[in-house]
């Protein structure tokens, strides 16, 4: 069994408390790594290291900071297959998705390295003569990054890459379900030559490590991806600092009566059961026009029933395990709730075997106000809701506390444009599933999904930098704005 430690000020350590916890292979339930359980003291040490490293790193020219990101990207690319295999073992996703997880990290480091030559501000004319007005981007400072287990390499990369290129230093807390993958990413950053103290990783509990990162006044920014409940707690306890939150979704695919039904079913299978439904962008609701509902339901159930569960590293596997026993229990609970609210068309059971497996599940004849249509399950459970019109479909889609991703399948451009304008989400796909973000475009949502920040693309730069406005008056006299004499 492998060991994984804390990474503080450029060195791996066993921490001050010398306590550990095990991470499990969700396909077997067997332990795969013994991980150091950091505590409040360890988090404070990491914060001090980041604070000490901040002046030199923030003063390093951005194009030089970017060179480290290019090197990280190259190293990830070189070790992609090994990293994907380890990721699949620890998180459970099938190999093609594990490779995609690593590729996303490769892409985001490469993209954000390119931003090192830009870090755009903007210039604008002054209202006065002999005066220049423009903006520049400055680092936030020491930032705390708290990431989930479902994309154990991609999501940390989304946060780490822009934080580094903008000149921040980092205290990083990964999920306790996937700490080994996080450690491999940090080791890659270390091997790329990033100076000591600039990135620090502390594994451990939310009550010790997470709480210290969120509440410590020396940390000037927080970026968190996880549950809505934890996001609310962070909002209440972080104090006055920059906070970015991505808090999940209850995403819907709308299928209109003029849609290509087979294409829509492809999207539903991928969106509902890819990553075993454990995505914040998972397509957990299907809102289908009643004219084609029966055809779509039959094809969806036929496809879902044939999906093969198993170890994600096996080529015969279509759907991997859930992350842990709690996730299985949650899917069992919502399956029981769904049986009382709708018609179980397929699945609905946990497998009586090693590992944490739950059958791909489809409920039909679901009412729009059902619990399974409103509450985030984070498992392979899809609810099909019938509607009579596009306006009703959009109303049902918007009847959610979340607003992350959405999709519409239609061959009518007017339907597509109306949906884009009226659906209350941060992302809308047309004739594609609710998942598949690209690193050069912003990612995030509205309503209960977050607090207005976005990750990736240029918005990732905005999340990890502050805007400074600059005025240079070379008139040689005191000039007053707004026409004041």
> 190-214, pLDDT tens digit by residue?
999 999 999 999 999 999 999 999 9
Residue 280 annotated in active site: yes
pLDDT tens for 234-292 read 999 999 999 999 999 999 999 999 999 999 999 999 999 999 999 999 999 999 999 99
One of 166, 280, 346, 397 is an active-site residue; which one? 280
pLDDT tens for 418-461 read 999 999 999 999 999 999 999 999 999 999 999 989 999 999 99
Q: In a 3-state reduction of DSSP, which class is residue 120? A: coil
Fold classified for 251-430: Aldehyde Dehydrogenase; Chain A, domain 2 (3.40.309)
Q: In a 3-state reduction of DSSP, which class is residue 246? A: strand
Q: What is the mean pLDDT of residues 113-118?
A: 96
pLDDT tens for 136-166 read 999 999 999 999 999 999 999 999 999 999 9
Domain positions in the chain: 2-247+450-470, 251-430
Q: Are domains 2-247+450-470 and 251-430 of this chain identical in fold?
A: no
Residues written for the chain: 485
One of 89, 246, 376, 455 is an active-site residue; which one? 246
Residue 246 annotated in active site: yes
Beta strand spans in 195-326 (E) = 199-201, 221-225, 242-246, 251-255, 283-289
Q: In a 3-state reduction of DSSP, which class is residue 461? A: helix
pLDDT for position 4? 82
**Where do the H-state alpha helices sit in 274-313?**
293-305
Other beta carbons within 10 Å of 326 = 11
Name the CA dihedral angle for 333, 338, 341, 344, rounded to a multiple of 10 degrees: -150
Q: How far is CA 434 from the centre of its chain?
A: 14
Asked whether the predicted pLDDT for residue 1 surpasses 60, the reply is: no
Q: In angstroms, rounded to a whole number, what is the distance separating the alpha carbons of residues 296 and 302?
A: 10
Q: In angstroms, rounded to a whole number, what is the distance separating the alpha carbons of residues 465 and 444?
A: 17
Task: Give buried/exposed letters for 98-137 (b at 16+ CB in 10 A, else e).
Answer: bbbbbbbbbbbbbbbbebbeebeeeeeebeeeeeebeeeb
pLDDT tens for 293-330 read 999 999 999 999 999 999 999 999 999 999 999 999 99
Which CATH superfamily hosts domain 2-247+450-470?
Aldehyde Dehydrogenase; Chain A, domain 1 (3.40.605.10)
């Amino acid at each position: 069994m492998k060991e994984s430690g804390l990474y503080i000020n450029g060195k791996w350590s066993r921490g001050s408390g010398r306590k550990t916890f095990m991470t499990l292979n969700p396909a077997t339930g067997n332990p795969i790594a013994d991980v150091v359980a950091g505590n409040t003291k360890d988090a404070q040490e990491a914060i001090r290291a980041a604070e000490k490293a901040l002046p030199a790193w923030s003063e390093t020219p951005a194009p030089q900071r970017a060179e480290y990101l290019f090197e990280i990207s190259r190293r990830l690319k070189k070790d992609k297959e090994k990293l994907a295999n380890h990721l699949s073992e620890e998180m459970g996703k099938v190999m093609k998705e594990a490779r995609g997880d690593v590729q996303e990290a490769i892409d985001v480091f490469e993209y954000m390295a390119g931003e090192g030559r830009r870090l755009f501000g903007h210039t604008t004319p002054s209202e006065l003569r002999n005066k220049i007005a423009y903006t520049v981007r400055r680092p936030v400072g020491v930032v705390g990054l708290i990431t989930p287990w479902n994309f154990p390499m991609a999501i940390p990369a989304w946060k780490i890459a822009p934080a580094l290129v903008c000149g921040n230093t980092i205290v990083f807390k990964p999920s306790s379900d996937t700490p080994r993958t996080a450690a491999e990413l940090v080791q890659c950053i270390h091997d790329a030559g990033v100076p000591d103290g600039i990135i620090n990783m502390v594994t451990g509990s939310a009550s010790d490590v997470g709480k210290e990162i969120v509440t410590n006044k020396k940390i000037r920014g927080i970026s968190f991806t996880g549950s809505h409940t934890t996001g609310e707690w962070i909002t209440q306890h972080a104090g006055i600092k920059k906070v970015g939150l991505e808090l999940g979704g209850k995403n819907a695919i709308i299928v209109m009566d003029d849609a290509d039904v087979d294409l829509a079913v492809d999207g539903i299978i991928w969106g509902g059961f890819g990553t075993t439904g454990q995505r914040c962008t998972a397509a957990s609701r299907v809102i289908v026009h009643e004219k084609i509902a029966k055809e779509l339901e039959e094809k969806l159930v036929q496809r879902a029933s044939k999906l093969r569960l198993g170890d994600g590293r096996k080529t015969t596997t279509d759907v991997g395990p859930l992350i842990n026993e709690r996730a299985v229990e949650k899917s069992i609970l919502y399956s029981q709730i769904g049986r009382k609210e709708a018609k179980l068309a397929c699945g609905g059971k946990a497998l009586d075997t090693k590992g944490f497996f739950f059958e791909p599940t489809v409920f039909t004849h679901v009412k729009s106000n059902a619990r399974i249509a409103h509450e985030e399950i984070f498992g392979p459970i899809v609810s099909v809701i019938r509607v009579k019109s596009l306006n009703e479909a959009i109303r049902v889609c918007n009847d959610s506390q979340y607003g992350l991703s959405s999709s519409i399948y239609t061959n009518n451009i007017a339907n597509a444009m109306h949906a884009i304008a009226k659906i209350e989400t941060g992302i809308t796909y047309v004739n594609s599933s609710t998942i598949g973000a690209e690193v050069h475009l912003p990612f995030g949502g509205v309503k209960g999904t977050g607090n207005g920040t976005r990750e990736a693309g240029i918005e990732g730069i905005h999340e990890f930098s502050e805007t400074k406005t600059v005025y240079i008056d070379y008139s040689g006299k005191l000039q007053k704005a707004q026409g004041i004499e």
